[in-house]
A = this chain, B = another copy of it.
Amino acid sequence: MSRTELKDLGEFGLIDLLTKNIKHQNPSTLKGVGDDAAVLDHGKLKTVVSTDLLVEGIHFDLTYTPLKHLGYKSVVVNLSDIYAMNAQPKQITVSLAISNRFSVEAVHELYEGIHLACQVYGVDLIGGDTTSSIQGLTISVTALGEAEEQKIVYRKGAKKGDLLCVSGYLGGAYVGLQLLEREKQIFMEHPNMQPDLENKDYIVGRILKPEARKDIIDFFAKHSILPTSMIDISDGLSSDLIHLCMQSKVGAFVEENALPVAQETTMKALDFKLPPTTCALNGGEDYELLFTIHPDDAEKIKYSFDIRIIGEITDASDGINLHTTGGNIKELIAQGWQHH
């Protein structure tokens, strides 16, 4: 029997392989694998479901991640997927596998962050499973949301001429991670010292305590904006734009000089000799929303200080490109199997 290494296939190749033959059997399944969340028909409102698995050593490093922040973030990254469908999250389940390295107090701290996120975003913790692990901590969160069917926004609806928009600022989480990795050495030498990051930089907050963009979804509702397509930026702008374009069967260009990068991010990136544009395009974990709107809606977007038009949707044959500040055109590339 042949053996193919997981890394040779890559995450997306593996998902394709495992899901290509799925046939739905239930009329209540409106949308399955392939978007930020699945969509179910349970009556008047539709149910939107998303799930994430976070593994110690892969997705987080407890050397510099306070447990309360980790709990908060575990919830937020799932809610971000529900918002990316233009839906409102309502419930979550949280499952934990915990080794005996963790005390009850540690688990309690983790849950404080989970409960805080529930409170801030108005979602209910409705269930889960708690079990031992041989090693390390694994957190599985599933979020359920609600939306009217005609308001749900998929990845697939972008059309040529639509404007490409992004919320907030990009690249901060990636630069924050680089900072923490460099500080890790200090923590390693003082294993009992928990990093005090409460009053640290903006960029550290971007990686340790990201927020999901509920405010943007609320802004859409208030101003009667229905994006034509949407995805949340978890893998990085390039990677997630490619997902959106593939599903919409379109191309796109991004204007480098329109990329929103916070000043703190730019300065620290330059300290680390990282091009800020690369951080913005490939950093990941920003949990901002990337979406497209019909050009007629451009006026409405102006009412938000936190949404920027960064490019435009083109024909698929034009590819997915960056228009650099220097006037060149560079093809955007996905980053493949990458964990943050």
Residues of A within 8 A of B (CB): 1-9, 11, 14-15, 17-19, 21-22, 24-26, 28-29, 31-33, 37-38, 40, 42-45, 47, 49-53, 55-59, 90-91, 93, 95-98, 100, 102-105, 107-108, 111, 115, 118, 122-136, 138, 140, 142, 144, 146, 337, 339
Contacts and interface: CB of A to CB of B under 8 A. Distances in A.
29 contacts: A1-B105, A2-B105, A6-B102, A6-B132, A8-B104, A14-B130, A19-B125, A25-B123, A25-B124, A29-B90, A29-B126, A32-B127, A33-B127, A40-B126, A42-B43, A42-B44, A43-B44, A47-B47, A49-B91, A49-B93, A51-B95, A51-B140, A52-B95, A52-B129, A55-B97, A55-B131, A58-B97, A59-B131, A134-B136
A2 B106 CA distance: 10
Contact of A22 (B25, B124, B130, B337): B124
Task: Quickly give the copy total for this chain.
Answer: 2
B11 A103 contact: no
B26 A91 contact: yes
A282 to B, nearest CB: 19
A56 B52 CA distance: 19
Contacts of A97: 53, 55, 58, 138
B132 A32 contact: no
Contacts of A58: 97, 131-134
| Best-buried of A17, A126, A136 by chain B (most CB within 10 Å) | A126
A22 B127 CA distance: 11
Say whether chain A's binding surface is mostly helix, strand, loop, or mixed.
mixed
Nearest to A50: B127
